[in-house]
Structure 1
Amino acid sequence: MFTFLKILESVVLPPGIFVLILTVIGFMLFRKGIYRIGMANLLAGCCIWVLSISPVSHFLMKGLEAPFSIPPEINGDVIILLGAGLREDVRDFSGTGFPDGDMLGRIVTAVRLHRQYKLPILITSGKVYEQGQAGSPVDRRILTDLGVPPECIMIETKSRNTYENAQQAFNICRSLGYRKPILLTAAYHLRRARMAFEAAGLSAIPYPAYRNASENPSFFWKSYLPSHHAFQTSCVAIREYLGIVYYIIKF
């Protein structure tokens, strides 16, 4: 019964339900002789299924994360914490707004690095859209809740993307005399982030806050069932690859 429920869950919840619908429609169209549209539906369903299984999402993430390992020691003078997603305008323990899962992973590692090396933290995260909420004040509040002294935290609220993060960080580091910044972000994001920082004129030590791809993955039957988590991971990885290509062309 447990196995049946897990299979049913994968089929009736997105993205599995879309794979099922597209596949059924595709075969129905084939039976009616509408081959091109039927094939298009089957291919669409197949693409969604491929992106929704763990082996594929792991493969995509592994390619992004593999070049970056955790240094045994770091010799820096400031931690640059790159912002990520934010749950805007939600009530929290100590204020309004809460970091999403990606940002929480970065914050936790920033706290641990600060405790280990006593380095100041520069958070770079502004409003993506004018109507939104800037991320860095929320991230600062969470950091102080976790014990980082307020005087050890700096923020900027103007940047909207990774390249603007780099530009703002460069200006702040230059004005305050920081010469050996530590670039802290998710492992999958480090390559593109480092490209942006180098383009902005700031050489930084890359430090992976956390990883998505395990070192020794173990796949079994459930790994090949459609999963929202795997699909989301695949989409994040594909977006990152596209961003890298864009930066290669731009810079």
Structure 2
Amino acid sequence: MVWVTRAKRGLCAALTTTGLVCAAMQSAGAQPSVPVAVRDVHRVLTPTLPGTYGDDTAVVILGYGLTPEGAMRKELVRRLQTGFVQSVFAPSSPIVVTGGNPRAGTSEADAMAEWLVSAGIDPARILRETRAESTVANARNTAALMDEHNLRTAVLITSDDHVRRARAAFDAAGVEVVGELTPGATPWPVLPLRIEQFGPVLPTDQFARHPL
């Protein structure tokens, strides 16, 4: 398994030169099988690092309940900021925003898409799933949308305390998840780069709708 260890170390070294920090590696004494080791390269790194992906991988941002007035809560904005960073690292990947539960005539997905467009994302890059009312529905509906657009794999963007359940739902829906990114599990707080720096600069009178 020497080549696996060297490959992982080489990838970490390359990432470190960009100012990012690798997640903790498996102990040197661990000797997983080759298929398991290859599969786990993404799973070791992606909880803390945005990845580079192609146009057949979707960046999937999961919704979060809006206020009764249709405003986004801070946790949803943090998911969007994280998804925005991932979208910069994978500029050819479509972005799926998934979430129904409309409030004041606005679905979670529509509010999310509006924020992303305000952040400079091309509207044509955004795929909206506006009917899901649960994590299971997020996964099933996103799977259908991905199939419609010939997307093979997904990177999940959600909250730290939700990612395990989301991963299980997407696995059950037949979606191949190649990465996960959450607002809290990143190295950014210890770097000059902070997640709160990303996204649109909004007028003061819009802060209630897009709380940062």
State the match for 1:86 in structure 2.
66
Partners of 2:105 and 2:50 in 1: how far apart? 38
Letter paired with 1:78: A
Contact 1:128 1:161 in 2 (8 A): no
Shift of 1:192: 0.4
CA distance change for structure 1 residues 189 and 74 in 2, over 3 Å: closer, same or farther? Answer: farther
Contact 1:125 1:159 in 2 (8 A): yes
State the SS of the aligned residue for 1:84: coil
Is residue 75 of structure 1 aligned with residue 53 of structure 2? Answer: yes
TM-score computed with the length of structure 1 as normaliser: 0.51
Letter paired with 1:125: G
State the SS of the aligned residue for 1:69: coil
Q: Quick one: which of 123, 127, 150 aligns to 1:150?
A: 123
- Summarize deviations over 1:168-227 as a string: whole Å, max 9, x none: 01001111111121111112211000111111111212422212899xxxxxxxxxxxxx
Contact 1:188 1:211 in 2 (8 A): no
Partners of 1:189 and 1:157 in 2: how far apart? 19
Q: Which runs of 4+ in 1 moved over 2 A?
A: 71-76
Q: Quick one: which of 84, 109, 112 aligns to 1:136?
A: 109
Q: Quick one: which of 111, 118, 122 aligns to 2:96?
A: 122
Partners of 2:85 and 2:179 in 1: how far apart? 16
Contact 2:170 2:177 in 1 (8 A): yes
State the SS of the aligned residue for 1:141: helix
Sequence identity of aligned pairs in percent? 26
State the SS of the aligned residue for 1:98: coil
CA RMSD of aligned residues (A): 2.7
CA distance change for structure 1 residues 145 and 178 in 2, over 3 Å: closer, same or farther? Answer: same
Letter paired with 1:205: V
Q: Quick one: which of 161, 167, 181 aligns to 1:188?
A: 161
State the match for 2:138 in structure 1.
165
Letter paired with 2:142: A
Letter paired with 1:86: L
CA distance change for structure 1 residues 138 and 78 in 2, over 3 Å: closer, same or farther? Answer: same
- Summarize deviations over 1:70-123 as a string: whole Å, max 9, x none: 24634352101100121243xxxxxxx321111111101111111221122100
Number of aligned residue pairs:
141
- Summarize deviations over 1:10-37 as a string: whole Å, max 9, x none: xxxxxxxxxxxxxxxxxxxxxxxxxxxx
Partners of 1:183 and 1:213 in 2: how far apart? 14
Contact 1:81 1:185 in 2 (8 A): yes
Unaligned runs of 5+ in 2: 1-44, 188-212
State the SS of the aligned residue for 2:161: helix
Partners of 2:68 and 2:89 in 1: how far apart? 31
Which is further off, 137-146 or 113-122? 113-122
